[in-house]
Amino acid sequence: MADLEQINQAQLDSALTTTEGRLQRRLSNEDGLRLTALMEQLQRRYPNQDNAASIAEYLTDLEQLSLKFSLQRVEEAIAALRIDPAQEFFPSPTDVAAQIQRQKGDSLARRMEREAVEFIESMNTASERHNKFMCEWEASGLSLADFCGGRRR
């Protein structure tokens, strides 16, 4: 029994042991400073709100969002929320995550639209080439086999 208590105490004293069973990833020091500066800007933007009790949790959650999506996406989402007339209060990490998802959806829609335009343009080009070929063949008065055979020479 004493050995078990000694092992448990050693685990508790270990810097590698966490209560969650795994280590939590962290931003680099530089990115952590950027995120902290962003939180300070938000606090100045919403001065009438007392966020002192929750700001540490917000910072932790925004750090996890930054690790999941990228710090740049978190910054872009917060920038969009700051100028959104419907955003009357300090944006929560949930608000930021929802904004990131909206921006990803917008980006996907723009990419799909761009790809559709490129596809239509390529189809138009192919159609024009086909029409040109057909006009040349009909004007030649040759059979298709003779016309195609003559073009290869």
Residue with tokens 């800007």: 41
The pTM for the full model equals 0.53
Residue 151 pLDDT: 63
> How many whole angstroms separate alpha carbon 113 and alpha carbon 110?
5
Question: What's the whole-number mean pLDDT along residues 77-86?
Answer: 89
Would you give the DSSP letter of residue 84?
A: -
Would you give the DSSP letter of residue 46?
A: S
Give per-residue pLDDT as tens, 2-42: 554 554 454 444 444 444 545 577 888 899 899 999 988 88
Give per-residue pLDDT as tens, 100-153: 999 888 777 888 888 888 889 999 899 999 999 999 989 998 988 888 886 655
> How many whole angstroms separate alpha carbon 42 and alpha carbon 59?
11
Give per-residue pLDDT as tens, 69-78: 999 999 999 9
DSSP strands (E only) in the chain? none
| 102 touches 66 (CB < 8 A) | no
Residue 20 pLDDT: 53
Residue 88 clears pLDDT 90, i.e. is over it? no
Give per-residue pLDDT as tens, 36-62: 999 888 888 877 788 778 888 999 999
- Cβ count near 24 (within 10 Å): 10
Cα separation values, 89 from 48, 68, 83, 84, Å:
9, 24, 12, 11
